[in-house]
A and B are shown apart, each in its own frame.
Chain A
Amino acid sequence: MAVDVNTGGTCSKACHPIVGMISRDILPVLPNRIREIITELPGEILEQIEEIRLRQNKPLLLGLARQDTMVTALGHPTGVTEFSYVVTEKDMGRAVQLVSGSSVYAFEEEIKNGFITIKGGHRVGISGKVLVDRGKVKTIRNITGLNIRIAREVTGAADRVLPYLIDPVTREFHHTLIVSPPRCGKTTLLRDIVRQLSNGVPCLDFRGCTVGVVDERSEIAGCLNGEPQKDIGMRTDVLDGCPKAEGMMMLIRAMGPQVIAADEIGRQEDAAAMEEALNAGIKVLTTAHGRDREEISLRPVLRYIMEQGIFERMVILGRSKGVGAVEDIIDLAGNKSLVR
């Protein structure tokens, strides 16, 4: 279905890949007035957008790489609350309907989890009045907050780290843990590693291998009705919305993965499932929240995993050199940094 919503926009604006993605995936789910504002934004702001936040009767906020900004009704960034465009109740209602394809009822499960995945694999976080039934979240009624998170696919994000993660002699992938504070490109890196492992890395003489992804939060593959919206490679199987520990076991049983990738480990059962994968001779690729090695070892489950010596490589990401910059890659077996 061809959707042409890029009404304004000069060519130079429309030609940037992020801008193209926004007009293809994001604009159709925005109410018309906000659509116009986003189309009118200057190109350099548009390229930086990471989040679009809609809160009822509050200014429309754009989350950029380093800070956030309000915008005027004409699409100029502004720091003054009085000049900013305020999201009306009507805008909110429309946005909710558009995000869900006019079918809020079809997304009950997703709403329970707090977000909806839209076309293109972008996630829309939801807040509002939560209805609870017997201690469990039933649904969110009166949705008053939406956070549209623009998922960037950075093909080639893993180019710099892959040489350290693949053994030059045996051509095998090392067990890898990616450590990073939030919003530093952890998932983006994980996704690109998965894609490259799955498709193969000719320059490292690495032939593609079967990768199983347990995508508990639908973040890695950004599945819509089970179909990955992101490019995660041709030899990749995805269990979307599946609890990590259970998912790993499911993959081991019959999908025969050579590498299992999962986001954000940290629970007791995750560790057990990882050991199971290890015993089956499967390589593990996963991520954890944290700033450095010390911070990781403060968390009991992660410390246990580290003490077991499961992981061979640790990639540490940070924001000091820009989003997604690799701060360090540690060889955990030899206990030395590989890049410094």
Chain B
Amino acid sequence: MIKLIGVFLTLAACGNMGLTWARVYEKRPQQLTSVEAALQLLETEIIYAATPLPEAMEQVALKCDPETAGLFKNTARELNKMEGITAGEAWGRAVDAFFPGTAWNERDAHILKRFGASLGASDREDQAKHLQMARSQLKLATHQAEAISRKNSTVFKYLGFLGGLLLVLILY
């Protein structure tokens, strides 16, 4: 009887481990999509409303997916400190601070940082170009992340469960 409970617990634990790993892969495309949607909000603020950047960032933070709101809130906070840093630097700092808590990889962070370099530094037309470029790059990254996720998340789901089964068979 106790053995059976053990089998059950082992299977549950390993299966869960697999599912958690799989979820990390699923998270990345989700988060990238939500960042891209937030950038679209930022684009509206900049291009149509010409809202000053600190305020635009706050607006986006309010409207976008709560999971990505921190990125924009941090940027607004850095800008409002008036420490003599540019919008690009404030954005860079916010990306750095936000990165560890996300499922992004280095390349995703790089896309965002590169976009930051031109943030707020030019006229509307130019801002639109840079925003669109960043968004299309994010879209591409999302597609890739989705492909990887489809492959890997199934693998990890099975791997966790089958690994558990293997453990059970060896120990039983």
Chain A: residues with CB nearer than 8 A to chain B?
1, 3, 5, 28, 30-32, 35, 93-94, 96-98, 100-106, 108, 111, 139, 141
B82: chain A residues within 8 A (beta carbon): 1, 3, 5, 28
In contact, A105 and B123 (Cβ under 8 angstroms): yes
In contact, B121 and A93 (Cβ under 8 angstroms): yes
In contact, B50 and A102 (Cβ under 8 angstroms): no
- Which 9 pairs of residues, A with B, have the shortest CB-CB distance? A102-B87, A102-B120, A103-B52, A32-B84, A103-B53, A102-B53, A105-B124, A97-B86, A106-B50
- A97 CA to B52 CA in the complex, in Å? 11
Q: Taking the complex as formed, is B16 at the interface, i.e. its CB lies under 8 A from any CB of chain A?
A: no
Select one of B51, B90, B121 contacting A106, CB under 8 A.
B51
B87: chain A residues within 8 A (beta carbon): 97, 102-103
In contact, B120 and A97 (Cβ under 8 angstroms): yes
Contact flag A102-B123 (CB < 8 Å), given A30-B84, A94-B84, A108-B50: no
Select one of B53, B83, B123 contacting A101, CB under 8 A.
B53
In contact, A104 and B86 (Cβ under 8 angstroms): no
Q: Taking the complex as formed, is B137 at the interface, i.e. its CB lies under 8 A from any CB of chain A?
A: no
- A32 CA to B50 CA in the complex, in Å? 27
In contact, B79 and A102 (Cβ under 8 angstroms): yes
In contact, A93 and B123 (Cβ under 8 angstroms): no
B84: chain A residues within 8 A (beta carbon): 28, 30-32, 35, 94, 98
In contact, A102 and B54 (Cβ under 8 angstroms): yes
In contact, B46 and A105 (Cβ under 8 angstroms): yes
Chain B: residues with CB nearer than 8 A to chain A?
46-47, 50-54, 56, 79-80, 82-84, 86-87, 90, 119-124, 126-127
In contact, A93 and B120 (Cβ under 8 angstroms): no
For residue A97, which residue of chain B has the nearest CB?
A: B86
A30: chain B residues within 8 A (beta carbon): 84
For residue A4, which residue of chain B has the nearest CB?
A: B82
In contact, A102 and B86 (Cβ under 8 angstroms): yes
11 additional contacts (CB under 8 A) given A102-B54, A105-B47, A105-B120: A28-B82, A31-B84, A93-B86, A97-B86, A102-B90, A102-B119, A104-B122, A111-B123, A139-B123, A141-B123, A141-B126
B50: chain A residues within 8 A (beta carbon): 103, 105-106, 108
For residue B80, which residue of chain A has the nearest CB?
A: A1
In contact, B52 and A106 (Cβ under 8 angstroms): yes
A103: chain B residues within 8 A (beta carbon): 50-53, 56, 87, 120
- A3 CA to B82 CA in the complex, in Å? 7
Q: Could you pull out 21 A-B pairs where Cβ atoms are within 8 angstroms? A: A5-B82, A93-B86, A94-B86, A97-B87, A98-B84, A101-B54, A102-B54, A102-B86, A102-B90, A103-B50, A103-B87, A104-B121, A105-B46, A105-B47, A105-B123, A105-B124, A105-B127, A106-B52, A108-B50, A111-B123, A141-B122
A111: chain B residues within 8 A (beta carbon): 123
B52: chain A residues within 8 A (beta carbon): 101-103, 106
A139: chain B residues within 8 A (beta carbon): 123
A102: chain B residues within 8 A (beta carbon): 52-54, 79, 86-87, 90, 119-121
A108: chain B residues within 8 A (beta carbon): 50, 123-124
For residue B87, which residue of chain A has the nearest CB?
A: A102
For residue A28, which residue of chain B has the nearest CB?
A: B82
- A102 CA to B83 CA in the complex, in Å? 12
Nearest-CB distance from B51 to chain A (Å)? Answer: 7
Q: By CB atoms of chain B within 10 A, which of A1, A97, A101 has the most?
A: A97
- A37 CA to B42 CA in the complex, in Å? 36
B86: chain A residues within 8 A (beta carbon): 93-94, 97-98, 102
A100: chain B residues within 8 A (beta carbon): 120
Q: By CB atoms of chain A within 10 A, which of B119, B120, B124 has the most?
A: B120
Nearest-CB distance from B43 to chain A (Å)? Answer: 11
Nearest-CB distance from A136 to chain B (Å)? Answer: 14
- A100 CA to B121 CA in the complex, in Å? 9
- A96 CA to B123 CA in the complex, in Å? 12
